[in-house]
Amino acid sequence: MPQLPAEARAARSWGAEGVGLLRTELLFLERPDLPGEDEQLALYQSVAAELPGAPITVRTLDVGGDKHLPAFPLPKEDNPFLGWRGIRIGLSEPETILLPQLRALLRAGAGAPIKIMLPMVSAADEVRQARALLRRAQAELAAAGLPHAAQIELGIMVEVPAAALNAEALAREADFFSVGTNDLTQYTLACDRGNSRVAGLYQPLDPAVLRLIAMACEAAHRHGRHVAVCGELGGNPRATALLIGLGVDELSCAPAAIPHVRAAIRAADSAAAQALAAQALLAAGPDEVQKLLDQLEQA
């Protein structure tokens, strides 16, 4: 699986301070079997080796919806995006899916600042269950005498509206939040992100999406948790000041976008960013938010 270390190398060459979203699906796709714990460990170590000492946020397997695995055929569902997806699969298949991955991440975490991120979380109980599995994985590794991280951060993606609406309870359970604006937009606006017929409705800058981001940030900060954005919006330098104003602490983007986003962060003034966010939250729709961003660009 050479793509992931190569992407980490590219990220380093563009000046990344870490990896904000390592999608592990690639490791599981296009093969007839599931990758074993040792194979996963080698991959996570090889990614971490590209950015020595830098935090690497690894998302546990996020299949279901439109992503399928040959080695783990999913049942046909009427509404796959509202069905067995992300952490829901991991929690109901701990032995085959989640535990081997948690063990591999804990082992990689012995030598690198790995963070674990859960996809498609909607309820605090899912985080509690995942944390119980993480403790079990730690106990198993200790019993086997295998080096592993004694402490590892366990965070969640905020990508369904319920995660933002339940942010207070989730912030008690999760160590950090990362907003997946791609899915958050799709689920908030009830608009399939891959369906060209409704592409006009798919607007990450819709105030409905922005309000959920603000809500997640407020709850996270009350509990001393950081909030990142790892969806496409995080890589859009036009939106950088707005995201900062909404309370976002960290941005994750494709390697080539790093210099643009970094320049936008440097240019942002925190009081102006907050004023912009306050106006955007009251906007009538995404076009009005776009206009606010245009005005900022021209100022």
Distance from C-alpha of 186 to C-alpha of 204, rounded to nearest angstrom:
8
Of the listed pieces 77-85, 137-145, 164-172, 180-188, which binds ligand PEP according to CB under 6 A? Answer: 180-188
Q: How far is the CB of 181 from ligand PEP (least distance, A)?
A: 5
Q: Does 260 bind ligand PEP (CB under 6 A)?
A: no
The one of Mg ion, ligand PEP, none whose footprint includes residue 23, by CB under 5 to 8 A per kind, is ligand PEP
DSSP sequence for 248-269: --EE---GGGHHHHHHHHHH--
Specify the residue, 100 or 234, whose C-beta has the smaller distance to ligand PEP.
Answer: 234
Site for ligand PEP in 8-67 (CB under 6 A): 21, 23, 62
Q: How does DSSP classify residue 257?
A: G
Q: What residues have CB less than 8 Å from 282, skipping those under 6 apart?
A: 207
Return the SS3 of 93.
Answer: coil
What track of x and - describes contact with Mg ion for positions 139 through 178 (by CB under 5 A)?
A: --------------------x-------------------
Cα of 106 vs its chain's centroid, Å: 18
Taking a C-beta distance cutoff of 8 angstroms, is the pair 159, 179 a contact? yes
Q: Which is nearer to ligand PEP, 149 or 247 (CB)?
A: 247
Location of structure tokens 């966010």: 277
Residue closer to ligand PEP by CB (options 141, 246) is 246
Q: Of the ranges 29-37, 180-188, 244-252, 267-275, which one interacts with Mg ion (CB under 5 A)?
A: 180-188
Considering only residues 202 through 241, tell me which ones interact with ligand PEP, judged by CB under 6 A: 230-231
Residues 137-166 that bind ligand PEP (CB under 6 A): 159
> Taking the mean position of all CA atoms in its chain, how far away is CA 215?
17
| Among the listed residues 177, 160, 165, 178, the one whose alpha carbon sits nearest the alpha carbon of residue 223 | 177
* Residue closest to 152 by CA, chosen among 228, 19, 55: 55
Binding residue for ligand PEP, selected from 183, 188, 251, 277, defined by CB under 6 A: 183
Which CB, 20 or 109, lies closer to Mg ion?
20
* Closest C-alpha to 16, from 230, 242, 273, 239: 230
Among positions 64, 65, 180, 245, the unique one binding Mg ion when judged by CB under 5 A: 180
Asked if residues 141 and 103 have their Cβ atoms less than 8 Å apart, the reply is yes
Chain residues in the site for ligand PEP (CB under 6 A): 21, 23, 62, 159, 180-183, 230-231
List residues binding Mg ion (CB under 5 A): 159, 180, 183
